[in-house]
Amino acid sequence: MSFTYAQLKSAIQDYTDNSETSFVNNLPLFIRLAEERILKTVQLSLFKKNASGSVTTSNQYLAVPSDYLASFSLSLAGSDGDRFFIEMKDPSFLQTYTPDSTTTGAPRYYAVYDVDNFILAPTPDAAYTAELDYYYRPTSLTTGSDSGTTWLSENAELTLLYGSLIEAYTFMKGEQDVMGMYDLRFKEALASLKQLGEAKETTDEYRVGKVVRRKT
C-alpha cells in the first residue's frame, strides 16, 4: 500500500470524519508536521548528503545547507591536508567553552547557531576546508501534485498516516483515547521504519576527534 497526496488527504478526512473548511485547508500542514517528526526521529541513510565548504581565519561561522535536517559528521582539514572530526554540542556548551570569541585555535566543537549558520569553537586560527555529512530534508509530499508520491508515502505510508492523524486530532482537540490509539500506532509504525536502517551511529569512533592522515 502507498499513498498519493490526494489519497492521504482523503484518508485523514475519512479517519477524522471532518470536512470543515478550516480543517481541509490545514491538511498540508498536518502532513508536513508528520514528515518532519518522522525525519527527525528516524535518520535513514538514503536521506544523507555530503557538502563541502570553507572556514576562514577568525570567522567562527560556517553556512548550513538549505536542506539541512541533522548532522552525521563534520570534519576540517588545514593546509597540511590532515583531516580531523569535530564534535557537535549545544550552543550553550560552546559559550561556556570559549566565552571570549577572540580566543582562536583549531576548532573542536560546533553547534547550530541559527537556521543559516553553524558556530565553531574555538574561533578558527587558520583557514580550513570543511566537509559535512548530513541528513537532508527531502521534498514534501505537499509540494507536488495530487497524484504525486514520495519515498515516505510509498515506503512509510502507515507512519505518515498516523503521524498526520496525530497532528489532525491535535488541531481538532480530539478525544484523548483516540489520540492515544493513533500515537501508539504511530510509534509501532515508526519502530518498523527504523528497521529499514537507521543511519545515525551515536558511538561512531570516527566522530570524536580522530585524525585522518592524507596519503603521501
Residues whose CB is less than 8 angstroms from the CB of residue 118 and which lie 6 or more positions away in sequence, other chains included = 61, 62, 63, 64, 74, 110, 111, 112
pLDDT of residue 204 exceeding 80, the answer is no
Mean per-residue pLDDT of the chain: 89
What confidence score (pLDDT) does residue 195 get? 79
What are the CA-CA distances from residue 96 to residues 37, 80, 108, 109, 142 (Å)? 30, 30, 13, 12, 41
pLDDT value at 155 more than 50: yes
**Range with the poorest average pLDDT among 90-94, 151-155, 206-210:** 206-210
The model's pLDDT over 7-22, given as tens digits with 9 standing for 90+, comes to 999 999 999 999 999 9
The pLDDT of residue 166 is 97
Residue 199, pLDDT score: 39
pLDDT for 197 equals 57
Please choose, from the candidates 7, 9, 10, 2, the residue with its C-alpha nearest in 3D space to the C-alpha of residue 32. 9
Question: What pLDDT is recorded for position 207?
Answer: 44
Q: Which pLDDT score is estimated for 206? A: 42
Q: Which of 21-25, 76-80, 159-163, 191-195 has the lowest mean pLDDT?
A: 191-195
Per-residue pLDDT, averaged over 36-49, amounts to 89
Task: Summarize pLDDT for 106-140 with one digit per residue, the tens.
Answer: 999 999 999 999 999 999 999 999 999 999 999 99
Q: In this structure, which amino acid lies at residue 5?
A: Y
Greatest mean pLDDT range, 36-40, 43-47, 85-89, 204-208: 85-89
CA distance to 37, 114, 170, per residue, from 26 (Å): 17, 27, 12
From residue 11, how far is each of 107, 142, 147 by CA, in Å?
Answer: 50, 15, 14
pLDDT digits (tens, 9 = 90+) for 46-104: 899 999 999 999 999 999 999 999 999 999 999 999 999 999 999 999 999 999 989 99
Q: pTM surpassing 0.95?
A: no
